[in-house]
Amino acid sequence: MSVLIIAEAGVNHNGDVNVALQLCKAAKEAGADIIKFQTFKTELVLTKNAALAEYQARNTGASKTQYEMIKELELDYESFRKIKEYCDQIGIEFLSTPDDVESLNFLVSDLKLRRIKIGSGEITNIPFLRIVGSKRLPIILSTGMATLGEVERAITELEKAGSDDITLLHCTSNYPSPFNEVNLRAIETLRKAFGFNVGYSDHTQGISVPIAAVALGASVIEKHFTLDKSLPGPDHAASINPEELRAMVESIRNIEAALGDGIKKPVQSELDIRKVVRRKIVASKPIRKGTFFASENLTTKRTSDKGLPAEMWDYVIGYPAPRDFAEDEGIELQ
């Protein structure tokens, strides 16, 4: 199964539907499978006294409250209808993370999402998880900030509510994430613990870490991207631009092809090369018929002559020469 690549536009549209449409076009041109946004009603997500996260304060200058900042990044449902329609037109899957029940119902019932993405912040939101699970759609669950026990509880609630198709995303919820906080080996930990497909949601700078995650078996890659890293907003600084997104997609497809099936065997292109570079047993000097083959009169060389492969050396030693052999002639036993 091909690695699913999600271009995470998130709120990098800065509240402008036209920018959102440009992000869809850029994601499609870069080769992403999915373009993902965030759908929410601000008043249903946080109170007016909610503090800014440290990265939000750092990336925005902390001149606004979190409520004010989030409200400016909110798109209405009609905007999302336009975005979904445009995605259908250009041939890229539309996805959006619902941050409240009303938005979840809109995305599932009105926009007919093929799958539901649950953000890391909701992994302990038990009543929300139960409603998500009741939709009986494939779920992608980000696990940033969570312990293994919290992941297990979330899975249990989703399954009890009716979900039977869950993909986990390992994630470090810091924007940008330092490399020493990524812990890519947790991908295998999650896979072994729960037996699900596991992907990776990346918040590091650059594209090297998601590419490495694919090499470690990630089945999904999610990466924030923006049209311009210098734009104001909480996530632009930790995002990649469209050119980097394209490079990431190309690299992931290359790594995906390079992983192969895991069976150790020569590929077709190696078979002809093997005939040329593998050594055969040849006479190191003229050998008379009846002379016993020994390390003193044999050696191994690359040759186009007929002859026994070097791996038969021990079998040949001590065998009488069935005929005369010239120097450098391939050895045969009959």
Gap between the Cα atoms of 120 and 118, Å rounded: 7
Q: Which residue has the tokens 């900030």?
A: 145
> Looking at residue 128, what is its pLDDT?
98
In which order are the strands placed within the sheet that holds 166-171?
Answer: 93-98, 34-39, 4-10, 220-224, 198-202, 166-171, 139-142, 116-118
Number of folded domains in the chain?
2
300 plus 235 within the same structural domain: no
Residue 53 lies in a domain: yes
Residue 31 lies in a domain: yes
28 plus 102 within the same structural domain: yes
181 plus 119 within the same structural domain: yes
212 plus 236 within the same structural domain: yes
pLDDT string in tens for the chain (334-residue length)? 799 999 999 999 999 999 999 999 999 999 999 999 999 999 999 999 888 877 666 666 666 788 999 999 999 999 999 999 999 999 999 999 999 999 999 999 999 999 999 999 999 999 999 999 999 999 999 999 999 999 999 999 999 999 999 999 999 999 899 999 999 999 999 999 999 999 999 999 999 999 999 999 999 999 999 999 989 888 898 899 999 999 999 999 999 999 999 999 999 999 999 999 999 999 999 999 999 999 999 999 999 999 999 999 999 999 999 999 999 999 999 8
316 and 292 Cβ atoms separated by less than 8 Å: no
83 plus 141 within the same structural domain: yes
Three-state SS at 293: coil
This model's pTM is above 0.85: yes
Containing domain of residue 151, as a range? Answer: 4-259
279 and 310 Cβ atoms separated by less than 8 Å: yes
183 plus 305 within the same structural domain: no
Tokens of 181: 């906080």
